[in-house]
Amino acid sequence: MRLYGKEWTRRELEARVGRIEQIGGIERFIRNEGPEAGLNTIRIRTGSGLSYYVTPDKGMDISLAEMHGVPVSWSAGNGEPHPAYYDQREAEWLRSASGGLLMTCGLSQVGAPGKDSAGAYGLHGRIHHTPGRQISSWAEWEGDEYVMKLRGVMEETSIFGERIRLTRMIMSRMGDNRITIQDTIENAGFLPVPHMMLYHFNFGFPLMAEDTTVTLPEGNSFPRDQDMDISRMGDWQAPDPQHKEQVYYHEPKKGSELIRARIHSPSFPVNHECTSSKGLIVELEWDAAVLPKLVQWRMPGAGEHVLGLEPSNCWTKGRSAEQESGSLRIVQPGEFIQYRLDLKFINHL
DSSP label at residue 73:
B
d(CA 147, CA 126): 31
78: phi then psi, degrees, rounded to nearest 5: -65, -20
Q: Please tell me whether the peptide bond between 107 and the residue prior to it is cis, using omega within 30 degrees of 0.
A: yes
pLDDT for res 272: 47
Range of the domain at 271: 2-347
Q: How many domains does the chain have?
A: 1
User: What are the respective helix, strand and coil percentages of the chain, to the nearest 5?
Assistant: 10, 45, 45
pLDDT for res 348: 65
Coil vs helix vs strand at 142: strand
- The residues near 217 (Cβ < 8 Å, ≥ 6 apart) are 250, 252, 253, 259, 260, 261, 294
Cα angle value 310/311/313 (rounded, 5°): 120
- The residues near 15 (Cβ < 8 Å, ≥ 6 apart) are none
> Is the pLDDT assigned to residue 5 strictly greater than 80?
yes
d(CA 43, CA 128): 18
User: What CATH number does the domain containing 57 carry?
Assistant: 2.70.98.10
Integer CA distances (angstroms), 204 to 41, 142, 289, 299, in order: 21, 34, 29, 10
Question: Worst-scoring range by mean pLDDT, 52-61, 106-115, 240-249, 265-274?
Answer: 265-274
Integer CA distances (angstroms), 220 to 114, 252, 295, in order: 27, 6, 12
- Average pLDDT, stretch 115-119? 90
> Is the pLDDT assigned to residue 275 strictly greater than 90?
no
Over residues 130-151, the pLDDT tens digits come to 999 999 999 999 999 999 999 9
Q: The pTM is what? A: 0.96
- Average pLDDT, stretch 119-128? 96
CB 77 within 8 A of CB 35: no
142 class by beta-carbon count within 10 Å (0-12 exposed, 13-18 middle, 19+ buried) = exposed
Q: What does the mean pLDDT of the chain come to? A: 95
| Cα-only R_g, the chain | 20
- Average pLDDT, stretch 189-194? 97
Nearest to 347 by CA among 270, 280, 266: 280
pLDDT for res 279: 93
Coil vs helix vs strand at 93: helix
pLDDT for res 306: 98
Quickly state the pLDDT bin for 349 (edges 50, 70, 90).
Answer: low
Over residues 57-112, the pLDDT tens digits come to 999 999 999 999 999 999 999 999 999 999 999 999 999 999 999 999 999 999 99
pLDDT for res 284: 98
> Is the pLDDT assigned to residue 278 strictly greater than 80?
no
Quickly state the pLDDT bin for 273 (edges 50, 70, 90).
Answer: very low
Nearest to 74 by CA among 106, 38, 100: 100
Coil vs helix vs strand at 319: helix
> Is the pLDDT assigned to residue 277 strictly greater than 70?
no
pLDDT for res 36: 97
- Average pLDDT, stretch 158-174? 96
Over residues 294-313, the pLDDT tens digits come to 999 999 999 999 999 999 99
